[in-house]
Structure 1
Amino acid sequence: MFTYINQNVLNNLFYILVSIFVFYFMYDHVRFFQKHRRHQHLLMIVCLSVPLVLCMKFPIYIAHDCVHDLRQIPFLIGTLYGGWAVGFPLLVILLLVRFVFYGYNFITVVVYVAMFMITALYSPAFNKLNRKKKLVMSTLLTFFLAILSTFIAIIIADFKVTKSYVIDFILVPPLGILFVVYIIETLKDAIIMRSKLIKVEKMEIASQLAASISHEIRNPLTVVKGFMQLLKAPNLSNESRDKYIDIALGELDRAGLIIDDYLTFAKPAPQKIEKFLVDQELRKVIDMVKPMANMNSVRISDDLVTGYIIGSIQHFHQCFLNLLKNSVEAMPNGGELNIASFICQDKVVIKIQDSGIGMTEEQINRFGEPYFSTKEKGTGLGTMVALKIIETMNGTLDIDSAVNKGTTLTITFSQSNE
């Protein structure tokens, strides 16, 4: 058998496989061919007519009364997957080119018209099959059509069946169809899986966005709740009352700004970038966290120096509120929280040190991943947002932590001259 599989057989298969890859490349990258089915049919006709012509131009061998090649593979593939709309144009091209190259032959017309009719009728049922059944049925159909064509040729013209004819026309095409259909189904599955993966990623982003909004809104609401509770305290001075109310109102405004930021997530507006004093804004964040710290028996101390950086004040507050809140929550039985800032080589360095439960090496490496948290009911979204804001402001964050010995966060920003 292998003596009959020569270079021309391999060339015929090569023409067919290249046309299949070109079809799926064009379909996957050119949106025009994805809009309507007739556009896909047009692309299929063009891609499959090329190997159909090349197979006839460079046949396996030419006998006096018969030309052997693998033209039936692209012809049957197009008719199986495209039905009448693809099969008929391919039939016309096949017959015209056959007549131009080798002259008119009545047997050729009868054989390929019969192939076309049977394959086109079977096409709707074929396209409903799963991958495994398509492989089996396409192979059996091609083998059946080869046998049928042979009988037609024998009946009409007393055609002589040779050993090479059996190999090249009856046995090789079904194997070729099996291989080509497998490639087609693999490429189709790859495109479908990628499309599904993109949808899953979009859903995951939407899920993270929704959870992140919920998390970020909860922070200012927690601050407001804390100060509302402080307003109940007896013998509260008017000055303290006004201060607590101002902070609570400011947090409600911040909640509104957070909602606006997320609502414009798909088409974000330019952020208000300005130069601001780090120590001044950090003290505002510390004031927001103090009610929560008091409820958790956490003592806050600070040692802040004056330093200027450039960025969004709103985002700066959002970032450090998340980090300080996490530090307080890391000390469920109380402890010490120290916030310090200093200038080092034109850098503003902020250190947040707590005496909490600390983190393992794995937890440090996963710090900032969405939905990963050292807290039992944590989401990890607060640290994710904080890290993103630090990155946006061209800053860096380093973590030094040990289990049951506390955690030190070191955040570094470029200093801006006054």
Structure 2
Amino acid sequence: MDLITKDLLINFLFILLSLFLVQMFYLLKYAYRFEELKDWMIAVFPVVSVVLCMLFPVALGEHFILDLRRIPFILGTLYGGYKLGFFLLSLILIIRYPMGGDGFYVTLLSLSLVVVLVFFLSKYYLKMSVKQKLMVSGSLIFVSLMTSMFFSEQILGLNIGTTIWIEYIVINVIGMFITTILWEVIRTNFDVLQRVIKAEKLEVVSHLATSISHEVRNPLTASRGFVQMLSEDVSLQTRKKYVDIAIQELDRAAEIINDYLTFAKPILEKKEKINVFEEIQHAVSVITPLANMNTVRIRLSLLNNEKYFVVGERKKFQQCLINMLKNGIEAMPDGGELQILLSYNHPNIQIDICDTGKGMTQEQMNRLGEPYFTTKEKGTGLGTMVSFSIIKGMNGKISVASEEGKGTYFSIKIPIYQHSAYINPHTSLNMSKKRSHV
């Protein structure tokens, strides 16, 4: 491999680097929703490629400077339109003119011809198939190079040798084919990504709509039935009973809607200091009957005589704890042990909930908190979804560890607001050592 080929391959690496930058910008656009990138992102590839190729050319005498600038120039003009084409042409001439030599005029004539051809082709290029695009881009760079050779030898009387011209043309054409395919792959991948993101959004909306209609329809249907029964000839006591049941069912429907609103907007409506120790005890007292029914033993390991406070909404925090404990109990249909630990892990209060249930796979853990995802046969995933949103609204975080057949470990970390007593770091350390890992 001679020196010219090696230097031109380095030019081709610059083109690949520019394609990588474009791919990175696409990822940023869809990962962080940077809509402002969409108008100028197409120009990154040709501009960067042209500049790098022309800064590291292959110099042949005082007249000829060879590089692969035509590849990004032609593709940039085809994909970006004639406006980008004129900008790239101006950029090339500005960089090329100070280098001197008669090759500047060859560049001016050959690339100006390309811009004229692309002006007519760019309107149809994006609608072509990949095969047609390869034929068009390959033909354009071949015509451009043959025009340069004609102007050099026939008009300016400059000759660098037929062998070098053939080598230069072959490298440019092959490089054009490879770059066109890579560029099409990048564009296709991110078009697919955009469609997938839209499809996922529609799927989430569909699941939420299904879940809401299913959850709300039952209490509303029950309420309607009892209201209809009021028109019958029944005693006053029975009538009062029907009204009470209808009101309870309507309240349940309102609670379900509030749960979905909590997920959609986990912002605290009112902020208050919450004593974590007391709230855990309250949640345990509420959930104990269910635990007894499922032969589940609850074991508490809390820091007594300590008052830990977090900022949040008391009712929502209670709801979160009850949901988490209920999920742990229901994960042990054949009985087991539910362990609840409270510890201080600066600057957070940490609540660990461990069960000895059936556990989860890694895929299931990754989907926890998603709408309409649940590991239970009868469930909508609403409780876990709301719990994650409540903790998020309190600037906290829920982490999960699980192993199939051994159990699940939930760790809730919430920033401390205030603790009135001195916290012995050794005590905290000892408590953290007591945690059982699943």
* TM-score normalised over the length of structure 2: 0.61
Tell me the SS of whatever aligns to 1:67: strand
1:264-283 alignment to 2 at 5 Å?
265-270=263-268, 277=282
Matches of 1:51 and 1:203 in 2, distance apart? 43
Corresponding residue for residue 137 of structure 1: 136
> Identity of aligned pairs, percent?
28
Residue pair 2:8, 2:67 contacting (<8 A) in 1 also? yes
The residue type equivalent to 1:53 in the other structure is: M
Deviation at 1:155, TM superposition (A): 2.8
Matches of 2:225 and 2:285 in 1, distance apart? 22
Deviation at 1:101, TM superposition (A): 0.8
Residue-by-residue CA offset, 1:113-145 (whole Å, 9 max, x unaligned): 223322333222222223343233312332233
The residue type equivalent to 2:80 in the other structure is: G
Corresponding residue for residue 110 of structure 1: 109
- Structure 1 residues 172, 229: CA separation in 2 closer, same or farther (over 3 Å shift)? same
Matches of 2:194 and 2:218 in 1, distance apart? 37
Deviation at 1:61, TM superposition (A): 3.9
Corresponding residue for residue 54 of structure 2: 53
Corresponding residue for residue 70 of structure 1: 68
Deviation at 1:100, TM superposition (A): 0.8
Matches of 1:344 and 1:121 in 2, distance apart? 72
Corresponding residue for residue 88 of structure 1: 86
Tell me the SS of whatever aligns to 1:80: helix
- Structure 1 residues 6, 212: CA separation in 2 closer, same or farther (over 3 Å shift)? same
Tell me the SS of whatever aligns to 2:264: coil
Corresponding residue for residue 188 of structure 2: 189
- Structure 1 residues 168, 251: CA separation in 2 closer, same or farther (over 3 Å shift)? same
- Structure 1 residues 315, 245: CA separation in 2 closer, same or farther (over 3 Å shift)? farther
Corresponding residue for residue 306 of structure 2: none
Corresponding residue for residue 34 of structure 1: 37
Deviation at 1:244, TM superposition (A): 5.6
- Structure 1 residues 80, 159: CA separation in 2 closer, same or farther (over 3 Å shift)? same
The residue type equivalent to 1:77 in the other structure is: L
- Structure 1 residues 313, 280: CA separation in 2 closer, same or farther (over 3 Å shift)? farther
Deviation at 1:16, TM superposition (A): 2.1
- Structure 1 residues 211, 32: CA separation in 2 closer, same or farther (over 3 Å shift)? closer
Matches of 1:202 and 1:214 in 2, distance apart? 18
Deviation at 1:176, TM superposition (A): 0.8
Residue pair 1:373, 1:380 contacting (<8 A) in 2 also? no
Unaligned runs of at least 5 residues, structure 1: 287-298, 305-309, 328-337, 351-358, 403-410, 414-418
The residue type equivalent to 1:112 in the other structure is: L
Determine which of 246, 249, 272 is the counterpart of 1:248: 246
Residue-by-residue CA offset, 1:249-308 (whole Å, 9 max, x unaligned): 13312322332443464333426787675588569x99xxxxxxxxxxxx999x99xxxx
Matches of 1:197 and 1:317 in 2, distance apart? 34
Corresponding residue for residue 121 of structure 1: 120
Matches of 1:137 and 1:184 in 2, distance apart? 15
Tell me the SS of whatever aligns to 2:215: helix
Residue-by-residue CA offset, 1:15-56 (whole Å, 9 max, x unaligned): 2222333344346537475354xx3466566434422432xx
1:3-402 alignment to 2 at 5 Å?
3=2, 6-26=5-25, 29=28, 31=34, 33-34=36-37, 36=39, 39-40=40-41, 43=44, 46-54=47-55, 58-105=56-103, 106-160=105-159, 162-221=161-220, 224=223, 238=237, 242=240, 245-263=243-261, 265-270=263-268, 277=282, 370=372, 380-381=380-381
- Structure 1 residues 317, 237: CA separation in 2 closer, same or farther (over 3 Å shift)? farther
Residue-by-residue CA offset, 1:140-162 (whole Å, 9 max, x unaligned): 33223323332343331344462
Moved more, 23-32 or 2-11: 23-32
Deviation at 1:173, TM superposition (A): 0.4
Residue pair 2:319, 2:387 contacting (<8 A) in 1 also? no
Residue pair 1:281, 1:317 contacting (<8 A) in 2 also? no
Matches of 1:196 and 1:232 in 2, distance apart? 53
Residue pair 2:388, 2:398 contacting (<8 A) in 1 also? no
Deviation at 1:226, TM superposition (A): 8.4
Deviation at 1:103, TM superposition (A): 3.2
- Structure 1 residues 152, 210: CA separation in 2 closer, same or farther (over 3 Å shift)? same
Tell me the SS of whatever aligns to 1:270: coil
Deviation at 1:224, TM superposition (A): 4.4
Matches of 1:76 and 1:33 in 2, distance apart? 25
Residue-by-residue CA offset, 1:328-348 (whole Å, 9 max, x unaligned): xxxxxxxxxx9xx999999xx
- Structure 1 residues 202, 260: CA separation in 2 closer, same or farther (over 3 Å shift)? same
Higher radius of gyration, 1 or 2: 1
Task: Say what the alpha-carbon RMSD is for the aligned residues.
Answer: 5.8
- Structure 1 residues 386, 96: CA separation in 2 closer, same or farther (over 3 Å shift)? closer
- Structure 1 residues 28, 85: CA separation in 2 closer, same or farther (over 3 Å shift)? farther
Moved more, 121-130 or 167-176: 121-130
The residue type equivalent to 2:146 in the other structure is: I
Residue-by-residue CA offset, 1:302-321 (whole Å, 9 max, x unaligned): x99xxxxx986579789989
Tell me the SS of whatever aligns to 1:99: helix
* TM-score normalised over the length of structure 1: 0.63
Corresponding residue for residue 426 of structure 2: none
Residue pair 1:390, 1:396 contacting (<8 A) in 2 also? no
Tell me the SS of whatever aligns to 1:17: helix
Matches of 1:396 and 1:75 in 2, distance apart? 50
Tell me the SS of whatever aligns to 1:268: coil
Deviation at 1:93, TM superposition (A): 2.4
